[in-house]
Amino acid sequence: MNGTKRVSDDTRERVERAILESQFTPHQVARSLRSGRTNSIGLVVSDTGQFIFGQMISEIERGTRKAGQTLLLANSGEDPEQEKRVIRALLDNHVDGIIIAPVADSDPEIFTYCTKANCPVVVIDRISQPGLDQVGIDNRSIMRGLTQHLIDIGHTNIALIAGDASVWTLRERAIGFREALERAGLPFDESSLVSTGRGLVDGEQEIEDLLDRTNRPTAVIAASGLLTLGALHALRKRALRVPDDIAFISFDGVTNSEFFNPTLTSFIHPVEAIGNEAMSLMHRRLADPGATPKTIRVRGDVFHGASCGCGGKVPLVVEYDDPT
């Protein structure tokens, strides 16, 4: 049944026939009591509706399936209280480990729950827990590279639709934007960094505010996929053309962006690599509970489309701070 012992073809055939005739299924609870494992991994993401998280879920599910494990998925809905509830529910189901993309303003107590239950944790995407295994991207370096590209093209009046500053990844991206301006000797104006929310409607409202200004920016960066969609919708309503009237870059790609006209210059989130690294860290932790925690920052690619307005003549390069 477990594939751990060699048996003859005749014996295997008789056992498999008996399984079919008796409709036998293994008793997973009994198995877990004997082995101390349930062969299940919990995955908690802050918003299953986001394109990036949807891809990550697929990759992590593929990894658990390959390892003979079951994935239990929970959506915390960007709600710290809901996050605590689903973590406790997964622990009540005795999962072998939990992979989590924490919500904004996540309560650190959730990690205490896991420690007391001897349940390993791997943090993905929003990596701000140095005492835990975690994997994500170098948000600051990537945002500096995207901003520097617009500066190299000749833009000096650049705005960032930054989203909710309480979200760790968005806060890192805002820092990278400011660093790029300062390194280029351009004055940083607080009004060039618009932070009110993180959703589709927020992105639309944020760029509406920018477009109403007398000194309207000549280039805009959106810090997430949802903010990108909202911003592009607002530009379309104003009949503004990208990149002729305003240059545009998205930090995250969005669904079916390859069909956009113009093509969208954007960072391509390395979701496959993040999912694979998360599963590797989890299996390492399960095999060696005392291993030193690791932080991995995965590098991704940049799609150099037409929305930035350089016509592909100016290279778009991301110089990473972190060597990993």
CA torsion 65-282-56-102 (nearest 10°) is: 140
Superfamily for the 9-137+271-299 domain = Response regulator (3.40.50.2300)
Assess contact for 41 and 9: CB atoms under 8 A: no
What is the full DSSP assignment across 89-145?
HHHHTT-SEEEE-PPTT--THHHHHHHHTT--EEEESS---TTSEEEE--HHHHHHH
Q: Is the distance from CB of 304 to CB of 317 less than 8 angstroms?
A: no
Under 8 Å between Cβ of 98 and 119: yes
Q: Is the peptide bond before 80 cis (omega within 30 degrees of 0)?
A: no
Tell the residue number behind the tokens 């592009």, with chain if given: 232
Per-position pLDDT tens, the chain of length 324: 666 678 888 888 888 788 777 766 655 545 544 545 799 999 999 887 777 888 889 999 999 999 999 999 999 988 999 999 999 999 999 999 999 999 988 899 999 999 999 999 999 988 877 889 999 999 999 999 999 999 999 999 999 998 888 888 889 999 999 999 999 999 887 777 676 655 545 567 777 778 888 888 999 999 988 888 888 988 998 899 999 999 999 998 777 777 788 999 999 989 889 999 999 999 999 999 999 999 999 999 999 999 999 998 999 999 998 655
Fold of 139-268: Rossmann fold (3.40.50)
Do 139-268 and 9-137+271-299 fall under one CATH topology?
A: yes
The DSSP-derived string for 142-185 is: HHHHHHHHHHHHT---EEEE---TTSHHHHHHHHHHHHHHHHTT
Phi then psi for residue 247, to 5 deg, are -75, 150
d(CA 227, CA 235): 12
Q: Which residues make beta-bridge pairs with 123?
A: 100, 134
The answer to whether the beta carbons of residues 122 and 286 sit under 8 Å apart is: no
Asked if the peptide bond before residue 187 counts as cis, ω within 30 degrees of 0, the response is: no
Domain spans of the chain? 9-137+271-299, 139-268
Beta strands in the chain (DSSP E): 40-45, 70-75, 97-100, 121-124, 133-136, 158-161, 193-194, 219-222, 247-252, 266-268, 295-297, 301-303
Q: Name the maximum alpha-carbon separation found in the chain.
A: 84
